[in-house]
């Protein structure tokens, strides 16, 4: 279903070579952080980006100056502090938000809620005011709550369009592709595993039965592989031993999603990526599934497809946690003055 040939963003992200050019303005909010810097570097490499505006509460002039010396066409400007945020967002076509605090050992993504919920609410409020038509790509965790927060903020300002708000779950797909390829001795660039549900622990549901090329695993190995994909973020947090979370692989995955979105906005057909979005596919009001992307964001939600009994059970087991995280995000915005 998900031919890698259609995932031009993924191909672009690997090779940085395309003849396509566009005049697209991309803003990165949280551009000085562990994800923001490598993400901005990868975006600077793309001929699809003509203007790259970088925002953070520290160091953005330096990051922008550094990136501006790279011999690619994107013009880079840095903006520092809340007084300059509106200028960073002016005329933005795509806004990518990796801002927030990272996980440390022993923390769940939900432990980040109190700090990151406020950061995301403030930043998306600025987006709703200054670039309400832009595509909004949220990387800040917990995504299962920050996407409902973004939606509620846009609703408050009367500019909500669910087809333009995306929770970037691409790292789950990237990890699933890598881990399956390792186990089967395949080229990971040729493997595609849809990952549905949410973006935390057991809400991450790799649909290995729909993998291309087709692969099969004994049940015990399938369960272990699924668990590894679900807890891969924690694997990195532990390995970094307090020095941060998955930043480089997240920057790569975020770039892959943005490039796919830019391709679709520029008229390329058949561009498919999974993302955590407003959804009517399940009992959960937000759910990640493969999406056909187009000029105006989501062109069509492709749904869950045929699931194995094991995968159906994973979906069922994820529902309570997903709904609770979504409600927590929605209630947060309603309780804000």
pLDDT tens-digit series, residues 63-119: 999 999 999 999 999 999 999 999 999 999 999 999 998 877 887 777 889 899 999
Query: What residues in the chain have per-residue pLDDT under 50?
Result: 1-19
In angstroms, what CA-CA distances link 261 with 13, 76, 333? 12, 20, 27
What tokens does 177 get? 């592709």
Give the pLDDT score at 305. Answer: 98
Give the pLDDT score at 21. Answer: 74
User: Rounded to whole angstroms, how far apart are CA atoms 64 and 46?
Assistant: 16
CB 115 within 8 A of CB 122: no
Give the residue numbers annotated as catalytic, written as ranges.
Answer: 199
The label of the residue with tokens 């056909």 reads 292
Give the pLDDT score at 153. Answer: 98
User: Rounded to whole angstroms, how far apart are CA atoms 165 and 154?
Assistant: 10
Angle (CA) 209 213 217, round 5°: 45
Model pLDDT for residues 285-298, shown as the tens digit of each residue = 999 999 999 999 99
pTM listed for this prediction: 0.94
Give the pLDDT score at 20. Answer: 63
Give the pLDDT score at 9. Answer: 47
What tokens does 189 get? 């660039």
The label of the residue with tokens 């395949």 reads 186
Give the pLDDT score at 45. Answer: 96
């Amino acid at each position: 279903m998900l031919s890698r040939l259609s995932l031009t963003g993924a191909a672009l992200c690997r090779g940085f070579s395309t003849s396509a050019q566009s005049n697209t303005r991309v803003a990165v909010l949280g551009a000085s952080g562990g994800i923001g810097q490598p993400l901005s570097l990868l975006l600077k490499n793309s001929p699809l980006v003509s203007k790259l505006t970088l925002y953070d509460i520290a160091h953005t002039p330096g990051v922008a100056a550094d990136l501006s010396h790279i011999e690619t066409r994107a013009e880079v400007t840095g903006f520092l502090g809340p007084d300059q945020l509106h200028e960073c967002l002016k005329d933005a076509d795509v806004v990518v938000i990796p801002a927030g605090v990272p996980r440390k050992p022993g923390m769940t993504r939900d432990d980040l809620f109190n700090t990151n919920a406020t950061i995301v609410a403030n930043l998306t409020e600025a987006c709703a005011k200054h670039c309400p038509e832009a595509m909004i790509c949220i990387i800040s965790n917990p995504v299962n709550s920050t996407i409902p927060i973004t939606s509620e903020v846009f609703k408050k300002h009367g500019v909500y369009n669910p087809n333009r708000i995306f929770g970037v779950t691409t790292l789950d797909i990237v990890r699933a592709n890598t881990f399956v390829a390792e186990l089967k001795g395949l080229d990971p660039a040729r493997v595609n595993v849809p990952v549905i549900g949410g973006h935390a622990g057991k809400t991450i549901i790799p649909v290995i039965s729909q993998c291309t090329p087709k692969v099969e695993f004994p049940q015990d190995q399938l369960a272990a592989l699924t668990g590894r994909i679900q807890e891969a973020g924690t694997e990195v947090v532990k390995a970094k031993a307090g020095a941060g979370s998955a930043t480089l692989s997240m920057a790569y995955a975020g770039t892959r999603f943005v490039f796919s979105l830019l391709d679709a906005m520029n008229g390329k057909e058949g561009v498919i990526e999974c993302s955590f979005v407003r959804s009517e596919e399940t009992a959960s009001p937000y759910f990640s599934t493969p999406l056909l992307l187009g000029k105006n964001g989501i062109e069509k939600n492709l749904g869950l497809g045929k699931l194995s009994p094991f995968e159906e059970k994973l979906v069922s087991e994820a529902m309570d946690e997903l709904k609770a995280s979504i409600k927590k995000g929605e209630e947060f915005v309603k309780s804000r003055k």
